């Protein structure tokens, strides 16, 4: 029996869905003309007009209007890969990532070597944290001969009546995009914590384009992950030679300074003077102040960081720790709760709340927060130890000793004394 090609079946299903949707869209949006009676020439003319109008809206940033026009174009000619491509780009521009991915897939089902769609899908997959899929697209993109990529776009489009040729103001070719293929591969491997692969791809990108300061910054970050601070420093300095205003290079340069908090604070202060809207710089300086025991200055810097970036949960978490250390427990709790609301999947938010309520001797609340923290991170021995203390002060020695046993299995050494003293 002949084997069924799964990819072919998927493509057929996709086209059936597209054709059905296109007929519905046309019937809704074009009541004055009957799709069944339109000549091929008339369809082409109308499809071109909708596409051109969509591109006009696209370049004006009116993405929802552009999407409507692209839909109308698809309803007339459902086999033009470029229309799906720009429709996908419009969806992504308004953070409709699922719809964007669907349209990029549709574009590639029509033209599977469409380099621009492959690159855009890779970038979108990176954005939604599908790093392996992004890597697959980028590697496939590397295998497309440079002569087969199309010229691309961004402003001004002329489309002929036969829908077969395009002309654009911008130029996209494999030769000028190749360094950014390596660059994005490097970013994907970095997210996957494959730092050697990340470094290899960043280096290839720089070989092809040695004048991009952002590639140097990202390679420097990969060097930092491997604790190669000397090489990281050289990359950050090179980035600053190319672009003295690269705040990320200046910021990360402080991470290469060896155990010199005074120098770190000085560097960060200079950076803040140049760019007083750089939340990360305030947060980093706050952390250094915290390490040196200057809690007041640390809290003030976290205040500034939060004012500039109020959705960054880690700033609330860290400010809470400072307030906790200052014995302002209720204020610390408010910060931990905000952090938890912004990022409920980080066990530290729940753990710190558990710690704070423990200090208030509210063991019932503390236990609830430790329970949630343990659900999120079952390999952290200190969580079981802390919960054991709550059980102990709640007069439940059995449960306390059960948690102590788990803490010891997880090699939390402080638990041994409790076991020897109370769990015999």
pLDDT, tens only, 361-380: 999 999 999 999 999 999 99
195-230: pLDDT as tens digits: 999 999 999 999 999 999 999 999 999 999 999 999
Q: Is the pLDDT of residue 335 over 70?
A: yes
Averaged over 103-115, what is the pLDDT? 93
Is the pLDDT assigned to residue 25 strictly greater than 60?
A: no
Phi, psi of 115 (to 5 degrees): -60, -40
**pLDDT above 70 for 111:** yes
Asked if residue 339 belongs to a domain, the reply is: no
Q: Is residue 417 part of a domain?
A: yes
Range of the domain at 165: 6-114+150-172
Of 21-35, 83-97, 159-173, minimum mean pLDDT range = 159-173
Confidence bin at 309 (pLDDT 50/70/90) = very high
Q: In this model, does residue 321 exceed pLDDT 50? A: yes
Is 132 within a domain?
no
Residue 215, domain member (yes or no): no
Last residue of a domain, one of 172, 205, 221: 172
The answer as to whether 45 is a domain residue is: yes
Predicted confidence at residue 145, as pLDDT, reads 72
The structural domain count of the chain equals 2
Domain end position, chosen among 139, 172, 205:
172
CATH code of the domain containing 51: 1.25.40.10
The mean per-residue pLDDT over the stretch 326-332 comes to 96
**SS3 annotation, the chain:** CCCCCHHHHHHHHHHHHHHHHHHHHHHHHCCCCCHHHCCHHHHHHHHHHHHHHHHHHHHCCCHHHHHHHHHHHHHHCCCCHHHHHHHHHHHHHCCCHHHHHHHHHHHHHHCCCCHHHHHHHHHHHHHCCCHHHHHHHHHHHHCCCHHHCCCCCCCCEEECCCCCCEEECCCCCHHHHHHHHHHHHHHHHHHCCCHHHHHHHHHHHHHHCCCCHHHHHHHHHHHHHCCCHHHHHHHHHHHHHHCCCCHHHHHHHHHHCCCCHHHHHHHHHHHHHHCCCCHHHHHHHHHHHHHCCCHHHHHHHHHHHHHHCCCCHHHHHHHHHHHHHCCCHHHHHHHHHHHHHHCCCCHHHHHHHHHHHHHCCCHHHHHHHHHHHHHHCCCCHHHHHHHHHHHHHCCCHHHHHHHHHHHHHCCCCCHHHHHHHHCC
Please provide the average confidence, as pLDDT, over all residues in the chain: 85
Q: What is the mean pLDDT of residues 272-301?
A: 92
Q: Confirm whether 84 is domain-assigned.
A: yes
The answer to whether position 130 is within a domain reads no
Query: Which of 13-27, 250-264, 276-290, 328-342 has the lowest average pLDDT?
Result: 13-27
The predicted model scores a pTM of 0.65
| Residue 396 forms part of a structural domain | yes
**What pLDDT score does 156 carry?**
28
pLDDT digits (tens, 9 = 90+) for 154-183: 322 222 333 333 333 333 454 567 888 999
Reported as a single tens digit per residue, the pLDDT across 386-412 is 999 999 999 999 999 999 999 999 999
């Amino acid at each position: 029996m002949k084997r069924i090609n799964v990819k072919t079946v998927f493509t057929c299903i996709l086209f059936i869905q597209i054709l059905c949707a296109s007929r519905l869209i046309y019937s809704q949006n074009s009541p004055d003309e009957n799709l069944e009676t339109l000549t091929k020439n008339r369809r082409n003319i109308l499809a071109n007009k909708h596409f051109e109008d969509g591109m006009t809206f696209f370049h004006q940033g009116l993405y929802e209007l552009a999407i409507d026009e692209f839909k109308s174009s698809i309803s007339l000619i459902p086999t033009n890969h470029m229309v799906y491509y720009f429709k996908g780009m419009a969806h992504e521009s308004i953070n409709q990532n699922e719809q964007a991915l669907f349209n990029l897939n549709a574009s590639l089902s029509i033209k599977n070597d469409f380099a621009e769609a492959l690159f855009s899908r890779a970038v979108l997959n990176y954005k939604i944290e599908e790093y392996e899929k992004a890597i697959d697209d980028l590697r496939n993109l590397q295998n497309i001969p440079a002569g087969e990529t199309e010229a691309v776009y961004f402003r001004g489009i002329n489309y002929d009546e036969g829908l077969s040729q395009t002309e654009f103001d911008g130029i996209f070719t494999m030769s000028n995009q190749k360094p950014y293929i390596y660059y994005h591969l490097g970013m994907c491997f970095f997210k996957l914590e494959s730092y050697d692969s990340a470094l290899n791809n960043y280096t290839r990108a720089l070989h092809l384009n040695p004048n991009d300061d952002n590639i140097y910054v990202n390679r420097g970050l990969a060097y930092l992950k491997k604790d190669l601070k000397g090489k990281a420093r050289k990359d950050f300095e090179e980035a600053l030679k190319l672009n003295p205003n690269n705040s990320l290079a200046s910021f990360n340069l402080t991470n290469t300074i060896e155990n010199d908090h005074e120098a770190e604070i000085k560097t960060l202060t200079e950076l803040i003077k140049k760019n007083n809207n750089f939340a990360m710089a305030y947060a980093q300086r706050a952390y250094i102040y915290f390490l040196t025991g200057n809690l007041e200055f640390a809290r003030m810097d976290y205040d500034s960081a939060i004012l500039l970036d109020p959705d960054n949960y880690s700033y609330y978490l860290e400010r809470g720790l400072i307030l906790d250390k200052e014995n302002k427990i209720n204020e610390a709790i408010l910060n931990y709760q905000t952090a938890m609301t912004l990022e409920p999947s980080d066990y530290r938010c729940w753990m710190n709340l558990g710690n704070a309520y423990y200090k208030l001797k509210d063991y019932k609340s503390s236990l609830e927060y430790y329970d949630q923290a343990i659900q999120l991170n079952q390999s952290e021995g200190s969580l079981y130890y802390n919960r054991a203390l709550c059980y102990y002060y709640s007069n439940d020695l059995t449960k306390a000793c059960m948690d102590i046993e788990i803490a010891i299995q997880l090699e939390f050494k402080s638990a041994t004394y409790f076991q020897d003293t109370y769990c015999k």
